[in-house]
Chain A
Amino acid sequence: MSSLQIKNLRKSYGAVEVLKDINLEAESGEFVALVGPSGCGKSTLLSIIAGLESVTSGEVLIEDHVVNDAAPKDRDIAMVFQSYALYPTMTVRQNMTFGMECRNIDKATQDETVKRVATLLQIEPLLNRKPGQLSGGQRQRVAMGRALVRDPKLFLFDEPLSNLDAKLRVEMRSEIKKLHQTVGRTTVYVTHDQIEAMTLATRIAVMYQGVLQQYDTPKTIYEKPANTFVAGFMGSPNMNFFKAKAVKNGDGFSVVIEGGEGTPLPLPADRYDTLTDGQSIIFGVRPEHFSPASDNRAERKGIASVAVPVRVDMDEPTGSETVLLTTIAGQNATIVCEPDAAPAIGDTVDFEIDMTKISLFDRKSELRL
Chain B
Amino acid sequence: MQRKPALGSQGWANRLAALTPQMVLLPTLIAALVYVVIFSLWTLWISVSQSTLLPNMAYGGFGEYASLWKSKRWIVSYQNLFLFGALYVSGSIFFGTLLAILIDQRVRYESVWRTIFLYPLAVSFIVTGTVWRWIFHPQTGVELALQDLGWIAAKFDWITDRDMAIYVVVFTGIWHASGFAMALILAGLRSVDGDLVKAAQIDGASMPRIYRKVVLPTIWPIFVAVTVVLLQFAIKTYDLVVALTQGGPGVSTTVPAIVVYDLMFQRGQIAQGAAAAVMILVALALVLVPYALWSGWRARKEARSHG
Contacts and interface: CB of A to CB of B under 8 A. Distances in A.
Interface of A: 62-71, 74-75
Q: Which has the most chain A C-beta neighbours within 10 Å: B6, B8, B18?
A: B8
Contacts of B3: 64, 66
B5 interface: yes
Interface majority SS on B: helix, strand, loop or mixed?
A: loop
Contacts of A66: 3, 6-7
A67 B6 contact: yes
B4 A74 contact: no
B260 to A, nearest CB: 45
Nearest to B5: A65
Contact of B8 (A63, A64, A74): A74
Nearest to A75: B7
Interface in B1-55: 1-9, 14, 17-18
Interface residues of B, number: 12
A70 B4 contact: no
Contacts of B5: 65
A70 B8 contact: yes
7 contacts: A65-B6, A65-B7, A68-B6, A70-B6, A70-B7, A70-B8, A71-B18
Mostly, the A contact residues are loop
Nearest to A74: B8
Contacts of A68: 6, 8
A71 B8 contact: yes
A104 to B, nearest CB: 16
A268 B91 CA distance: 85
A47 B190 CA distance: 39
A47 to B, nearest CB: 16
B9 A64 contact: no
B4 A71 contact: no
A75 B8 CA distance: 8
Contact of A67 (B1, B8, B14, B17): B8
Nearest to B1: A64
Contacts of B8: 67-71, 74-75
Across the A-B interface, give the 7 residue pairs with the lowest CB-CB distance, nearest first.
A70-B8, A66-B6, A70-B7, A69-B9, A65-B7, A69-B8, A65-B4
A70 B10 CA distance: 9
A69 B4 contact: no
A74 B13 CA distance: 13
B11 to A, nearest CB: 11
A345 to B, nearest CB: 37
B7 A64 contact: no
A67 B2 CA distance: 15
Contacts of A74: 7-8
Nearest to B17: A71
Contacts of B4: 63-65
B2 A69 contact: no
Contacts of B1: 64
A63 B3 CA distance: 10
A114 B224 CA distance: 53
Nearest to A38: B307
B263 to A, nearest CB: 49
Given A64-B3, A64-B4, 20 more contacts: A62-B7, A63-B4, A64-B1, A65-B5, A66-B3, A66-B6, A67-B6, A67-B7, A67-B8, A69-B6, A69-B8, A70-B8, A70-B9, A71-B14, A71-B17, A71-B18, A74-B7, A74-B8, A75-B7, A75-B8
- B1, B6, B18 interface centre (most CB from chain A within 10 Å): B6
A68 B6 CA distance: 8
Nearest to A72: B8
A71 B11 CA distance: 12
A258 B4 CA distance: 57
Contacts of A64: 1-4
A6 to B, nearest CB: 15
Nearest to A39: B307
A63 B7 CA distance: 11
A62 B14 CA distance: 19
Contacts of A69: 6-9
A202 to B, nearest CB: 22
Nearest to B10: A74
B118 to A, nearest CB: 30
A64 B6 CA distance: 9
A25 to B, nearest CB: 11
Nearest to B6: A66
Contacts of B6: 65-70
Contacts of A63: 4
Contacts of B17: 71
Nearest to B7: A70
Contacts of A62: 7
Nearest to A67: B7
Nearest to B3: A64
A70 B17 CA distance: 12
A64 B3 CA distance: 6
Interface string B127-162: 000000000000000000000000000000000000
Contacts of A65: 4-7
B284 to A, nearest CB: 34
A68 B8 CA distance: 8
A324 B9 CA distance: 59
A177 to B, nearest CB: 30
B9 to A, nearest CB: 5
Nearest to A5: B1
Interface in B160-179: none
A66 B7 CA distance: 6
Q: Which of B3, B7, B18: most chain A Cβ within 10 A?
A: B7
Contacts of B14: 71
A64 B2 CA distance: 8
Contacts of B18: 71
B303 to A, nearest CB: 15
Nearest to A73: B8
B7 to A, nearest CB: 4
B42 to A, nearest CB: 37
B17 to A, nearest CB: 8
Interface in B180-227: none
